[in-house]
Amino acid sequence: MKPINIYLIFLLIIIKISLAERIYIAYNNNDDETEYIESLIKRFNEISIKNNWDIHIVLSEYFNSDKLSNEEYHSRLSDLLNNETSNQLDLIIFENTYLTNYSDYLQNLKLFVPVESLNKYLTEIGKKISTYNNHPLYLNYGILYSNKEYLNKYGRAVPETWDELIETVQQITKSEKKKDEKSNITGYAGLMPMDDEDSICSLYEFLYSFRDDINDDIPNFRSQNAKASLEKIYEIKRKISTDEVFKLNSNELFNYMDQEKNNNNEKKILFIKNWYKKGYEDKYFISKLPGNKKGITASSIGGRSIGINKYLNNREIKNIAGK
């Protein structure tokens, strides 16, 4: 059994449940991770039937009909947790970036379970994200996708610095233009869409990639490092990208990459910053994002977490330490 399935079972055991109990869960059924989350729920329900646990996880009625954007889902979840309906949700799934919004509503598992037991289900990065009233279901991170065809064609390595990225794009586009004046190549898609939190993630990645030493904290926005990082963003967009490509959102970029796998794109993008996703290894080198210096990079951490609502209706949390 996969560790995450064990942890989902573990969460449910903590809740004192009666026979034929329905566990109401909140998650967004209209995003990229819906299939993954529903596979976990399906797997748990199958295990429950097999073991005669009489437990069944179902999507809360507050989320099972409307197709919500990410922002709309978290807004509705916040509204529910802040009024009399808060005790009608048992398990809550949310983006890791919203942890501070919901931590006050989640059960602190350290009060009932030894930290050593909880840590068995956490990676090293997960331990940094978890506050023990949430558990990361999975982690995601920003990476660089580099077009294999063109890098191999011109014998170029994956860039380790932003200046190397600019120079590589300029060399390839110049050579392609000599062969075909109509070649349509854009150097870099920066994942900075308007009115989208991914823009903030990309901005902070740039800023963090301009720290002087790998062990330094993120530079202050008033620092020279911050000024240099913003100037580099502008330089990249001006020299090797376009407003249109720079503002493509994550889904639009993955749609482009899906078409690229089938060689259906006339426009070519050499380098793409996006969230990690399996299935693109044949077309792209997958690597860390560049930095201002070699060996110094940055990546935003995304993904989803799960937690138990501490305002459960007619339920008690029981200590299962030692079981």
Question: Which pLDDT tens digit goes with each residue over 130-184?
Answer: 677 777 888 889 999 999 999 999 999 999 999 999 999 999 999 999 988 888 8
Residue 4: predicted pLDDT: 55
The neighbour count for residue 255, using CB atoms within 10 Å, is 12
Residue 317: predicted pLDDT: 42
pTM of the model: 0.79
Q: What is the pLDDT of residues 180-189, one digit of tens each?
A: 888 889 999 9
Residue 1: predicted pLDDT: 44
Which H or E element spans position 152? helix 148-153
Residue 210 to residues 137, 191, 245, 256, 272, Cα–Cα distance (Å): 30, 18, 23, 29, 19
What is the dotted CATH code of the domain comprising 141-292? 3.40.190.10
Token pair of 113, please? 């379970």
Same CATH fold assignment for domains 3-133+304-308 and 141-292:
yes
**Could you tell me what percent of the chain has a pLDDT over 70?**
87
Residues ≥6 apart with Cβ < 8 Å to 260: 283
Domain ranges of the chain: 3-133+304-308, 141-292
Residue 314: predicted pLDDT: 41
In the three-class reduction of DSSP (H, G, I as helix; E, B as strand; rest coil), residue 281 is classed as coil
Of 174, 181, 148, 151, the C-alpha closest to 260 is 148
Kindly tell me if the per-residue pLDDT of 207 is higher than 80: yes
CATH topology of domain 3-133+304-308: D-Maltodextrin-Binding Protein; domain 2 (3.40.190)
Q: What is the pLDDT of residues 91-142, one digit of tens each?
A: 899 988 888 888 888 888 777 777 787 777 777 766 666 677 777 888 889 9
Kindly tell me if the per-residue pLDDT of 66 is higher than 80: no
Compute the average pLDDT of residues 239-258.
94
Dihedral of the alpha carbons of 218, 223, 225, 229, in degrees to the nearest 10: 90
